[in-house]
Amino acid sequence: MDIYAVVGNPVAHSKSPKIHNLFASQTGQGLEYTAIQAPLDGFGNTVNNFFGNGGRGLNVTVPFKEEAWKLAEERTARAELAGAVNTMYRKNGILYGDNTDGAGLVRDLTVNNGLDLKGKRILILGAGGAVRGVLMPMLEQGPESVTLANRTVSKAQALVELFASYGQLEASGFGELTTSFDLIINGTSASLAGDLPPISPQVIGKNTVTYDMMYGNEATVFNAWAAQHGAVLCIDGLGMLVEQAAEAFTVWRGIRPKTGAVLEALRAGD
């Protein structure tokens, strides 16, 4: 049996084992996928032990994605720019780091929700690791512009400089946002604390779609706010979670699992 796992801290509530085991049975791949909690100061040892014992591939989650980026001996182009690694594997004795988060977000937006990002005005809230991880794949979709708004504007400016050559990007503070956007993505961790980024409802026009990278049993605070102010569609991040997993599974196994039934099973809480 080929062994895979997700490494994080904490990791007990991770949905990745369930998702990947469903992918494995759907595609008939003989693999087992578990969750490993690494000590906060022991991520490198955990990864080395895992691969030393014949493990085939790892997903990496909070708080180790940046450490995984450093630990990887080779990185894919998308991981390089993301500054974070969520997918690891060994090939010819080399430890590879990839990042499938951005591809997962784009696939959830375009395939699962049928949105075309080309020529669209996009607002992204936040400028931390989660946002950096998805910027390149988002810019590759050819939006008219991407505005990065963050509480700490200097962090948004730093990302704009880093990604400036890949598309029309600009930095902003929350208070300066006074026009509407086609798509607004909440990539702040504010939802975790039940907080709302302090932005004007003017960002929501008659056809605005919102996307919160977070998810929960109920609408996130951000999506509930957006719906109240007239957003036409409010999507949470569960689809991104399933799609980043499908992309990792494809990287490891060379076969792309179907995600619809898996997403439904998670929504139903099976």
By the rule CB under 6 A, 9 interacts with ligand ATR: no
By the rule CB under 6 A, 130 interacts with ligand ATR: yes
By the rule CB under 6 A, 8 interacts with ligand ATR: no
Among 127, 136, 159, 204, binds ligand ATR (CB under 6 A): 127
Euclidean distance between CA atoms 165 and 151, whole angstroms: 24
Among 155, 229, 233, 265, binds ligand ATR (CB under 6 A): 155
Give the number of other Cβ atoms within 10 Å of residue 73's Cβ: 10
Note if 65 is an active site residue. Answer: yes
Select the span of 22-30, 136-144, 149-157, 244-252 touching ligand ATR (CB under 6 A): 149-157
By the rule CB under 6 A, 171 interacts with ligand ATR: no
Q: How many residues bind ligand ATR (CB under 6 A)?
A: 15
Euclidean distance between CA atoms 127 and 255, whole angstroms: 33
Q: How many CA atoms lie within 13 A of 24 on its CB side?
A: 17
By the rule CB under 6 A, 188 interacts with ligand ATR: yes
Give the H/E segment covering residue 102. helix 101-107
Q: Are the beta carbons of 218 and 155 closer than 8 angstroms?
A: no
Name the residue nearer to ligand ATR (CB basis): 55 or 104. Answer: 104
Select the span of 42-50, 188-196, 203-211, 248-256 touching ligand ATR (CB under 6 A): 188-196
Euclidean distance between CA atoms 117 and 124, whole angstroms: 13
Q: What angle do CA 96, 109, 248 make, to 5 degrees?
A: 20
Q: Can you read off the two tokens belonging to residue 65? A: 């994605």
Residues of this chain that interact with ligand ATR (CB under 6 A) are 126-130, 150-152, 155, 188-190, 193, 195, 197
User: Annotated active-site positions, please?
Assistant: 65
